[in-house]
Copies of this chain bind each other. A is one copy, B any other.
Amino acid sequence: MRNPRQGRPNRVTISDVGAAAGVSASTVSRVLNGTTKVDPSLAARVHDAVRQLGYRPNAAAQGLARGEWGTIGVLVPDLANPYFPEVLKAVSAVARSHGRRVMVMESDEDPSIEHDLVEDLMRSCDGVLLCSPRMGRADLVVLTARDHPLVLLDRIVPGLAAPAISADFFGGMMLICGHLAQLGHRQVAYLSGPEVSWANAERIRALEAAKAFGLSVTILPCGSTSSCGYAAAAEVAGTGATALTTYNDLVALGAVTRMRELGVRVPEELSVVGFDDIALDHVAHTGLTTVSTPRGQLGRQAAEMLETLMTERHDGEPVYLPMELHVRDSTAPPRVTREPAE
């Protein structure tokens, strides 16, 4: 049944154009795609017909015939997280410059549906950009094993067939630790992100490594939202920490708000550091010390990787983009140095 109920839109086909111009459909196609020389006068007639009939080629038919959808897919955990729109923006620009459309999906932070979503993207896109901090390794192996262009974003997993690009979370946290150590802090607390998040693991790995700077770290379970930060902030006092590091800026800002309420002065009594630099500092004047993720570059480069992946085969190593430290008003030397460095 051709679903006669709804007059399907855009019913003018390439043959209609051909008929109107007095040529065959093949010729119309050739004119529009410029694949072969055609008689200029015919070409003109075709263009006229196209304009008059308002012809627009059916994307599905083109995709089918060409074996290319002209589309790339992006999966992100949460669109509302200010981190992603910026990435998306860059991806979208790159895709457009290559004549591709962008399909966006969101998993709502639910890793269990991500596999299906990616499969869905794969069957409707030429390539997929996957940003999934939580997806289990097994799923990743299955997906990257499929012979379908896929680039991993902000997630480096050794041994996968797919290329990957990520901000250097480890390096970013090291910058923070260095900054804190230099200020004289020794006891640091960390409001940890999602348990199974790779990005969170990277931060923790850096915190461990920072023991070399003489930092001692207490890890408090928290989450990735400002309300998590707000809720978890109360427990920082018990750790004796003079500085607080966080999974991201949202958590940090939530914590700062709570600290204010608790009468803990920032940074005099407690230094607080964010992560990602999404604090919109120019607008909201939060003055949060943090490290910045190069989100635009991340998106741009990821999209370019995907684009090359769709023509050549993959070769390269995972790419890490450096983060940058922004010292603002939320960090200061600890009030009392516990003891001078031995």
Cβ proximity bits A84-104 to B, threshold 8 Å, 1 near / 0 not: 111011001100100001111
Q: Which residue of B lies closest to A149 (CB)?
A: B9
B64 touches A147 (CB 8 A): no
Residues of B contacting A102 with CB < 8 Å?
103-105
CB-based contact B79/A85 at 8 Å: yes
Whether A226 and B103, one on each chain, are in contact in the complex, defined by CB atoms closer than 8 angstroms, is no
A60, A82, A120, A148: most-surrounded residue (chain B CB, <10 A): A60
As a 0/1 sequence over residues 103 to 129 of chain A, the CB contacts with chain B under 8 angstroms (1 = contact) are 111101000000000011111100000
Contact between B101 and A146, CB atoms less than 8 A apart: no
Stretch at the interface among A43-51, A133-141, A151-159, A276-284: A276-284
Q: Chain B nearest CB: distance from A21 CB in Å? A: 20
- In whole angstroms, how far apart are the Cα atoms of A58 and B66 in the complex? 13
CB pair A283–B67 under 8 Å, yes or no, is: no
- A71 partner residues in chain B, CB cutoff 8 A: 103, 124
A79-B88, A80-B89, A101-B124 given; 13 more Cβ-contact pairs under 8 Å = A9-B122, A9-B149, A10-B148, A58-B123, A60-B60, A60-B69, A64-B64, A80-B85, A102-B103, A257-B282, A257-B283, A257-B285, A280-B280
12 intermolecular pairs with C-beta atoms under 8 Å apart: A9-B149, A56-B122, A58-B123, A59-B124, A71-B103, A71-B124, A79-B88, A79-B92, A82-B85, A89-B106, A101-B103, A226-B282
